[in-house]
Amino acid sequence: MTAAWRAALDDWLDQLLVERSLSANTLEAYRRDVERLAARMEDPVRATERVLRDALREAELAGLGPRSRARLLSAWRSFFRHLQAEGCLEHSPAELLDGPRLPKSLPDVLPVEKVEALIAAAGGTKHPLRDRAMVELAYGSGLRASELTGLPLADLYLEESLVRVVGKGRKERWVPVGRQAAQSLEVYLALERPALARVASPPAIFLNYRGGALSRVGWWKLLQRLAAAAGLAGAVKPHSLRHSFATHLLEGGADLRAVQEMLGHASINTTQIYTQVDRLYLKEVHRSFHPRGRAAGEGAGA
């Protein structure tokens, strides 16, 4: 590697360290991504779109997958934007490059019976009323993990069956609280939260055994324990309940715009991922139960 490359790379990585507080492992991965280009030219300011396109093609032929190539291109764009901001380049050669087409991953959705198994498993924990109320509210209102664990008592309106949620970007939304979630919350707030609370406890609805607010990590660990107790294969993530909330609403005939509002999505495009899940569900129902939906020779229980 030439001195020009080394100086430019070190300067860029120093900036990332200061401005974004990235870990040493992440910085090293970024360094390796950009070093792929160093053998192709002596000075980074001589990079062209053609050189970068050839390097991407070479990475693909070497077996690098779409996500890895997308990360590669992201690192290159960041590096050349840095050189552009420093006045070393007039235009970044990476800006107009097309990234690889990434496969769309469908959200992890739990069937209704698995959600019910999680709720039932809460009855065997050290804090059954709290744990049941958390699962009921997370699934019944589609809250993010940070929204659930940070929810203050003042934002819960059980008489109106509503919860006020402050989500991403400090955007406020009002979400209905289902009847069963409301009942679980009433019991928990009356019988178990007072036993968990301390003089210095925060106003959070859900407290840990020390009287502090249950953290996102604590909520994640709780879900893993419930999943294991319920005999569910694989990890159950906090977002699985949010995905299930949206998918089950659409399966039941809910309007997409209403689901978007309840989830707090800024764009309807984000919510539309659940319509793909809904379509897959409908296709499976049709295949399983329609007399002309099954392939020849398939039984009704196939």
> In this predicted model, what pLDDT tens digit does every residue of 246-266 receive, in sequence order?
988 888 888 888 889 999 888
Of 67, 168, 221, 279, the active-site residue reads: 168
Residue 242 appears among annotated catalytic residues: yes
> What residue has token string 């496969």?
103
Of 82, 130, 144, 248, the active-site residue reads: 144
Please give the helix or strand (H or E) that residue 166 lies within, else none.
Answer: strand 162-166
Average pLDDT, the chain: 86
Residue % of the chain over a pLDDT of 90: 44
pLDDT in tens, 182-207: 999 999 999 999 999 999 999 999 99
The whole-number average pLDDT for the span 35-43 is: 87
Task: Kindly tell me if the per-residue pLDDT of 125 is higher than 50.
Answer: yes
Token pair for 177 = 């609280």
Residue 82 appears among annotated catalytic residues: no
Residue 144 appears among annotated catalytic residues: yes
pLDDT in tens, 165-178: 998 778 899 999 99
Asked if residues 109 and 99 have their Cβ atoms less than 8 Å apart, the reply is no
Distance CA 109, CA 283 (A): 16
Distance CA 57, CA 239 (A): 35
What is the reported pLDDT for 102?
A: 60
What is the reported pLDDT for 302?
A: 43
Among 81, 105, 70, CA closest to 8: 81
Among 157, 162, 160, CA closest to 175: 162
> What residue has token string 């934007």?
81
Residue 279 appears among annotated catalytic residues: no
Residue 281 appears among annotated catalytic residues: no
Of 32, 46, 239, 286, the active-site residue reads: 239
Task: Kindly tell me if the per-residue pLDDT of 164 is higher than 90.
Answer: yes
Residue 290 appears among annotated catalytic residues: no
pLDDT in tens, 40-97: 888 998 888 998 989 888 988 888 888 788 888 888 999 999 998 888 988 888 888 8
Of 132, 242, 243, 248, the active-site residue reads: 242
Q: Which amino acid is at 141?
A: S
What is the reported pLDDT for 128?
A: 97
Sign of CA dihedral 244, 249, 251, 252: positive
Distance CA 185, CA 162 (A): 12
CB neighbour list of residue 95: distance below 8 Å, 6 or more residues apart: 77, 80
